[in-house]
Amino acid sequence: MKITKFTLYKVPPRWLFLKIDTDEGISGWGEPVVEGRADAVRTAVHEFEKYLIGKDPLRIEDHWQVMYRAGFYRGGPETMSAIAGIDQALWDIKGRYYNAPVYELLGGACRDKLRVYRWIGGDRPSDIREAALEAYGQGYTAIKMNATEELHYIDNFQKIQAVCDRVAAIRDALGYKLDIAVDFHGRVHKPMAKVLAKELDQFHLMFIEEPVLSQNNEALREIARYTSTPIATGERMFTRWDFKNLLEDGYVDIIQPDLSHAGGISECKKIAAMAEAYDVAVAPHCPLGPVALGACIQLDTCTPNAFIQEQSLGIHYNKGGDLLDYIKDPSIYQYKDGYIDIMRGPGLGVEVNEDALIMASQKAHDWKNPIWRNEDGTVAEW
């Protein structure tokens, strides 16, 4: 079997899909994208395409090693996201070739179902209480919300109190029936992250996410002294070498590699195994589309330290397209009592509606994240 063709579709809301065809009629799908840099990742995919055309798609590990190591300069979000989407598609082909879910090729299932959570709020959270009640009514047992809007290096405590008030509103409405995660989103610099982590500790959260940017992971040592809440990070880390020092430092409780950014299924399986050796949980980052989520679920199914999965149904980023719009069978992503059943179909278990992609690609997006500024005019983290 040989790889014969790459096809890429850039579609709303901010996604890029890759289809890899073979001479035996088996095709695989992946999602190689950096949100806001889809065109750069598409170019990187085409660079790898030149090497992969004519190659055996089943030699996934060898192809991964060549894509990563054959270039003198390595890593970075665009390159690793291109590798990730290609890797997902190759695993999809391999699973279809052997008529088995990918997790069966990675050691088999170690769970019967997988817990998922839903986003509420948005970049500028409002109506948090109502959104939490809605999620609870839909059967979710866990939600995640953004913490703050703009925060300067040192800022007014009023902004900290506003975060606490929003979390308190959920606790007042639902008590501990709903687990809450609060995403700092890298918007909070170390001086205020300590304050916010300490003030949120009273609410006994499921976790706080990315309390500082991953470039500042050394600050987790100090932030951990102010909270007993589990600390999660890793969505902006792209290889096992990025995660190595984080795990060795011992101040993270949950890692969140993104299977469309961190080298795909092949690399994230290795990262998860590293985390298991340090008694650290895994909750893959996935505010993306149905193929990326399918890849995550394949990994989660055979990864004992995976405990919950992010998914993008109804997320605030999804303008002009949503999780179920580009697949033939939306029932694969039905959630019940906060869980999803493991997937039984071959490969990634996702049947992509290519006709829908072709139509949607005619109105290709140019999504960019907003540029935020503090009150004094300085650029703020988004």
Residue 52 · residue 309 · CB < 8 Å: no
Q: Which of 185, 189, 261, 365 is catalytic?
A: 185
Q: Would residue 63 show up in a list of annotated catalytic residues for this protein?
A: no
Could you give the CA distance from residue 38 to residue 211 in angstroms, rounded to a whole number?
A: 26
First to last CA, the chain: 45
Strands 3-11 and 15-22 turn out to be antiparallel
Could you give the CA distance from residue 229 to residue 227 in angstroms, rounded to a whole number?
A: 5
Query: How many helices (H) and strands (E) would you count in the chain?
Result: 12, 14
Give the CA-trace dihedral at 73, 74, 80, 84, to 10 degrees: 110
Q: Which of 164, 382, 37, 138 is CA-nearest to residue 45?
A: 37
Could you give the CA distance from residue 121 to residue 185 in angstroms, rounded to a whole number?
A: 13
DSSP 227-267: --S-EEE-TT--SHHHHHHHHHHT--SEE--BTTTSSHHHH
Strand partners, 146: 183
Could you give the CA distance from residue 382 to residue 368 in angstroms, rounded to a whole number?
A: 11
Q: Would residue 185 show up in a list of annotated catalytic residues for this protein?
A: yes
What number of residues does the chain have?
382
Strand partners, 22: 3
The CA distances from residue 333 to 25, 293, 370, in Å, are 26, 9, 30
Q: What kind and span of H or E run contains 269?
A: helix 264-277
Q: Which of 63, 189, 285, 365 is catalytic?
A: 285
Q: Which residues are catalytically annotated?
A: 185, 285
